[in-house]
Amino acid sequence: MSEMWINMGPQHPMTHGLWNLRIKVDGELIVDADPEIGYLHRGIEKICEYRRYNEVITLMDRTCYVAGIAWEQLYIMAAEGALGITPPARAEYIRVLSQELQRLSSHIIWYAAYVQDIGLMTPFLYGMRDRDLVLDLFQSYTGARMTYEYMRVGGVRNDVPVGFTDRCRKVMDWLDGKLVEYEKVCDNSTIFLDRTIGVGILKAKEAIQDGITGPVLRAANVARDIRRDRPYSAYPEIDFDVAIHDGADCYGRYRVRMEEMKQSVRIVRQVLDWLDRNPGPVLAEKVPRFVGTPSPPPGKEIYVERRGYPKGRGFSSMEEPHGEAMAYIINEGAEHPYRAKLRSPVFVNIAAAKDYLIGYRISDIPAIMGSVDVCLGEADR
Amino acid sequence: MTGTALSLSELPSALAGKFPGKVTPVPGRKDMLAALKVLPEAIVPVSQFLRDQGTFEHCALVSGVDWIDRIEVLYHLWSDEYKGYLELSVDLPADEPHVASVTPVWSGANWHERETWDMLGVRFDGHPDLRRVLMPEGYRFHPLRKSFELREPEELEVKARHV
Amino acid sequence: MVDTIYSVVYALVVYALNLLGPIVPIAPSLGPGLAVWLSYLVVGAIIFAFSLVNVLVFIWWERKLLGRFMDRRGAMHVGYAGLLQNLADGLKLFRKQPFAPKDADELGYYFGPTAYLVMSVMILGLIPLSFGVSGGVVPLSLLVALALFSFAPLFIFIASWSSNNKYSLIGGMRTAAQLVAYEIPLLLAVVGVVALTGSFDLNVIVGDQARYGWFGLPLFLGLLLFFVAMLAEVERIPFDLPEAEAELVEGWSTEFGGMLFAFTMMGDYVRALIGSYLIVLLFLGGWSMPWGLSNFPLSGLVFFQVKTYVVFAIFIWVRASLPRVRTDQLLQIGWKRMLPLAMLNIVWALALVVWGWPTIHWPVL
């Protein structure tokens, strides 16, 4: 049979976002693949150059629609590096809490969408139900469920409310049981195992060469986790294991994310205990005025640092739910960044689509691309 | 992959010995293992050396900055051995900037270089597939150039040096 | 006597024609010919209306049950417990403008789904809903029903090819491969039942089960095979590859909208209804119930429907709990597992006959 190109996307149920996977098929067999992105490009990096430091936070929420707060912190860490500010310890712990809750909600929605891709409908709604509990937690301390605008240069906007830690512990107890249930649904299903084991193999060497990061890399038995290897925030004081799997296939990626969720629950518990014991401020005292509020009227500038604030480059990298995210901010002493560069893990993971897909069948595409966990908001920025 | 991996302290002297005058360290970067300024013609051999002898097997990011009088291309490399990032930077002329591609060294740099071409107009010689990645094909501007100014939509009149 | 519903309708039609006599003098003289045709029409309309209502309730049943499996409520706003939701959806589709894609082959595009639905509804005329409640007495009703049932891949392929869409084409190809592959175990599973009854008449098959016990017990393997093959034939999870929405958008029905989409959807559910009917008729005793429960007037009709809904509930349960298999896995299951097992089932049925299964077959209870 002759070969033909098929456009899977930009509007296609497999894509989970807006991108176009062009595949060349011979019958049902994939012989070539060419991903195309850019449909969600909003020029966030360019807009950053025209916004004051705190105004950029709003943009960062919109970068990724399932892990907004991860990008907030990424940007904040780079900005703090560029401006030379250290946040108080309690703020760092609240940030870690936010990261892990975000990882939970992101992985749960990944799980829900993934089983749906494979054709298993019921756990999709289980996942959405439980993710809502995590979003409720977010709502209780940031005021929003998706676009939080919670982090600030020099800390976080407000402390967690009274009774939050107990409420959060209850949700974690609930999730403990539900995570086991999720695993049972998939691991006891022969069809699920048939669909995922040995499918979409990307070995460690190839994955490193392709720049793959995150759960996809850890599923190839490479224990690289920025939280462990280059700890930021309060991660150095927190005890957790890096989840790895030696399958290098879709099943391995599923296992790694499942294990990561359990570790996230563990981290959240540690952070909650710490928060109960250590009250304190959540915002640094000496934050330069210009990053806090819109331009003050002339003559009212509180900090003389407003002019001639030290030039510098801020760099941060962190383990976002999808992989290694990096932000690079150049501060030229102005009110807004001279250049802000974001590295999205999904951008690179999609670029390697050819390596996952060739040799498999059309029916495997949702299973493989789903296991990569794409979020086009952050790939296109 | 020849020989054993160098330790981090040996790396600068090894680089200086192998590429005399082409690699100069940039002081004052605390968040990196090191920051190096590399001459454009040496970027591929240096990359090759860092990957094979320096265990920098992961090219995390290739990006660029428009300094108006020059274009700076930045490479961020990660090593599982040293658990840290290394920054390479290359200065290119603002007119017709081009530099050799590192995609043959790290295939993960592929899309990053495409994006840098797309956004800043830096040509990567030897890149297998240098097309635009985010902006549509046939778009006339490189938006992250400082000459591309954001305006309100009604007065959108882009003055670009490079079309 | 056998086709009671037809006799009743015929009597009513003759009575009505006689009533018309004084007004339209010609009516009685047309006599038996007209009455026969009219009563066929009326019986057809009754069956069609009955099955249509059944399809609507089927969709409701699936929505509600699936909702419960998924920890939600399902349709609940239109009508009591959402019973009229499907009617509302149908009306919405009915109001839509019919259209064809620019490069589609219009003849095939309109013909495919329509023929798919019509061919599916035709089968309902052959299926007795209770003793004597059927479109007519067809001695080979089971054979004809299965023959009509296997027409579907042809129309699906016509519809998919003429839509001029790659997803539709792949979906149509998959449908053809899948339905052809599972047709064989389906038919072979039926052979066991036919061997025990010696007849293709569904009335006889149910009569035999009323006397000698449901075939689901001695032919449990056959029931299992028939059930799985039927899952594949009606394209439901885990065998819903032809419309696997994650990879093929909506499979062979991607390009259809409005009423044509309603046709494909209704065709699917009519086929699911027929599948459930056939499982009940062949293996679960049809309208008969033990301990003389089905001897009351109309009780057979009720029991038959109840059994059908229970069987369909199992279809839904499977849908709620299993993922979708892959194309190659699907065909492997069909050819390498189901086919040998179906052969085994025939051998077992023949052994039962040799070992002295009763040989007196009669449709009457």
Q: What is the pLDDT of residues B92-107, one digit of tens each?
A: 888 888 888 888 888 8
Does C216 reside within a domain? yes
Percent of chain A with pLDDT over 70: 93
User: What pLDDT is attached to residue C134?
Assistant: 72
Q: Is the peptide bond before A321 cis (omega within 30 degrees of 0)?
A: no
User: What pLDDT is attached to residue A10?
Assistant: 82
C146-155: b (≥16 Cβ within 10 Å) or e: bebbbbbbeb
Question: Inter-chain contact C238–A118, Cβ cutoff 8 Å?
Answer: no
Higher pLDDT residue, B27 or B117? B117
* Alpha-helix runs per DSSP H in chain B: 11-18, 43-52, 110-120
User: What pLDDT is attached to residue C312?
Assistant: 92
pLDDT digits (tens, 9 = 90+) for B68-88: 888 899 999 888 888 888 888
Does C61 reside within a domain? no
Does C217 reside within a domain? yes
Q: With beta carbons less than 8 A apart as the criterion, state whether B119 and B162 touch.
A: no
The answer to whether residue C74 scores a pLDDT higher than 70 is yes
Question: Inter-chain contact B108–A351, Cβ cutoff 8 Å?
Answer: yes
Q: Where are the domains of chain B?
A: 11-155
Pair of tokens at residue C331: 């065909």
Please name which of C92, C99, C61, C86 lies closest in space to residue C255, comparing C-alpha atoms.
C99
Residue B154: band (very low, low, confident or very high) from pLDDT cuts 50, 70, 90: very low
Strands in chain C per DSSP E? none
The answer to whether residue C352 scores a pLDDT higher than 90 is no
Residue A280: band (very low, low, confident or very high) from pLDDT cuts 50, 70, 90: confident
Nearest to A191 among C69, C322, C328 (CB): C322
pTM: 0.84
Q: Which of A53-62, A329-338, C116-125 has the lowest mean pLDDT?
A: A329-338
Residue C310: band (very low, low, confident or very high) from pLDDT cuts 50, 70, 90: very high
- Continuous segment of H or E residues that includes residue B34: strand B34-38
Using CA atoms, how far apart are residues A131 and A102, in angstroms rounded to an integer? 10
Q: With beta carbons less than 8 A apart as the criterion, state whether A20 and A5 touch.
A: no
The answer to whether residue C97 scores a pLDDT higher than 50 is yes
Using CA atoms, how far apart are residues A266 and C76, in angstroms rounded to an integer? 40
Q: What is the identity of the amino acid at C173?
A: M
- What is the β-pairing status of strands B34-38 and B84-93? parallel
Instruction: Please give, rounded to a whole number of angstroms, the shortest distance from the CA of B60 to a CA of chain A.
Output: 6
The answer to whether residue B2 scores a pLDDT higher than 50 is no
* The total number of structural domains that make up chain C: 1
Pair of tokens at residue A192: 């699920």
CATH homologous superfamily, domain B11-155:
NADH:ubiquinone oxidoreductase Nqo5 subunit (3.30.460.80)
- DSSP, res A31: E
Using CA atoms, how far apart are residues C211 and C298, in angstroms rounded to an integer? 19
Question: Inter-chain contact C326–A195, Cβ cutoff 8 Å?
Answer: yes
Q: Which of A13-17, A58-62, B114-118 has the lowest mean pLDDT?
A: A13-17
pLDDT digits (tens, 9 = 90+) for C144-183: 888 888 888 888 888 888 888 888 888 888 888 888 888 8
Higher pLDDT residue, A378 or C243? A378
The answer to whether residue A254 scores a pLDDT higher than 80 is yes
Question: Inter-chain contact C323–A363, Cβ cutoff 8 Å?
Answer: no
Q: Which residues of A touch B1 (CB under 8 A)?
A: none
Strands in A218-338 per DSSP E? 312-320, 323-331
Q: Which of A100-109, B8-17, B77-86 has the lowest mean pLDDT?
A: B8-17
- DSSP, res C338: I
Q: Which residues of C touch A129 (CB under 8 A)?
A: 71
Residue A265: band (very low, low, confident or very high) from pLDDT cuts 50, 70, 90: very high
Q: Is the peptide bond before A366 cis (omega within 30 degrees of 0)?
A: no
- DSSP, res A146: S
Task: Please name the residues between 110 and 149 in chain A that touch chain C, using a CB distance below 8 Å.
Answer: 115-122, 124-126, 129
- Continuous segment of H or E residues that includes residue C36: helix C26-69
Instruction: Please give, rounded to a whole number of angstroms, the shortest distance from the CA of A361 to a CA of chain B.
Output: 24
Q: Which residues of B touch A37 (CB under 8 A)?
A: 133-134
**Strand order from edge to edge, sheet including B70-79:** B23-25, B34-38, B84-93, B70-79, B58-66
User: What pLDDT is attached to residue A256?
Assistant: 92
Beta bridge partners of B79: B84
User: What pLDDT is attached to residue B158?
Assistant: 47
- DSSP, res C156: H
Q: Which of A160-174, A227-241, A299-313, B124-138 has the lowest mean pLDDT?
A: A299-313
Does C179 reside within a domain? yes
Beta bridge partners of A331: A312
Number of CB pairs, chain A paired with chain C, less than 8 A apart: 81
The answer to whether residue C303 scores a pLDDT higher than 50 is yes
Radius of gyration of chain B (CA): 17
Question: Inter-chain contact C322–A119, Cβ cutoff 8 Å?
Answer: yes
Question: Inter-chain contact B31–A330, Cβ cutoff 8 Å?
Answer: no
C in contact with B (at least 3 C-beta pairs within 8 A): no
Using CA atoms, how far apart are residues C96 and C326, in angstroms rounded to an integer? 35
Query: What is the domain extent for residue C312?
Result: 106-354
User: What pLDDT is attached to residue B160?
Assistant: 44
Residues 6+ apart with CB under 8 A from B95: none
Provide ipTM, 2 decimals: 0.80
Residues 6+ apart with CB under 8 A from C356: none
Higher pLDDT residue, A333 or C15? C15
Residue C309: band (very low, low, confident or very high) from pLDDT cuts 50, 70, 90: very high
Residue C363: band (very low, low, confident or very high) from pLDDT cuts 50, 70, 90: low
User: What pLDDT is attached to residue C32?
Assistant: 67
The answer to whether residue B66 scores a pLDDT higher than 70 is yes
Mean pLDDT score across all residues of chain A = 84
Higher pLDDT residue, A11 or C22? A11
Cα-based angle A357, C244, C67 (whole degrees, multiple of 5): 125
Question: Inter-chain contact A118–C237, Cβ cutoff 8 Å?
Answer: no
Please name which of C126, C143, C144 lies closest in space to residue C135, comparing C-alpha atoms.
C126
Mean pLDDT score across all residues of chain C = 83
pLDDT digits (tens, 9 = 90+) for C234-257: 888 788 877 766 677 777 888 888
Exposed/middle/buried for residue A261 (C-beta within 10 Å: 0-12, 13-18, 19+):
buried
User: What pLDDT is attached to residue A107?
Assistant: 92
Please name which of B33, B79, B34, B73 lies closest in space to residue B52, comparing C-alpha atoms.
B79
Q: Which of A74-88, A169-183, A254-268 has the lowest mean pLDDT?
A: A74-88
Comparing alpha-carbon positions, the chain C residue that sits nearest to A125 is: C70
CATH homologous superfamily, domain A44-349:
Cytochrome-c3 Hydrogenase, chain B (1.10.645.10)
Q: A195 touching C, CB under 8 A?
A: yes
**C8 C-beta neighbours (distance < 10 Å), count:** 14
Nearest to A366 among C170, C247, C329 (CB): C247
Using CA atoms, how far apart are residues A264 and A253, in angstroms rounded to an integer? 16
Beta bridge partners of B124: B99
Q: What is the identity of the amino acid at A371?
A: S
Which residue do the tokens 């039926």 mark? C190
**B49 C-beta neighbours (distance < 10 Å), count:** 20
pLDDT digits (tens, 9 = 90+) for A286-340: 666 555 444 444 444 443 344 445 677 888 888 888 888 888 888 776 677 888 8
- What is the β-pairing status of strands B123-125 and B98-100? parallel
- DSSP, res A381: -
Which residue do the tokens 């193999």 mark? A201
Question: Inter-chain contact A361–C328, Cβ cutoff 8 Å?
Answer: yes
The answer to whether residue C364 scores a pLDDT higher than 50 is yes
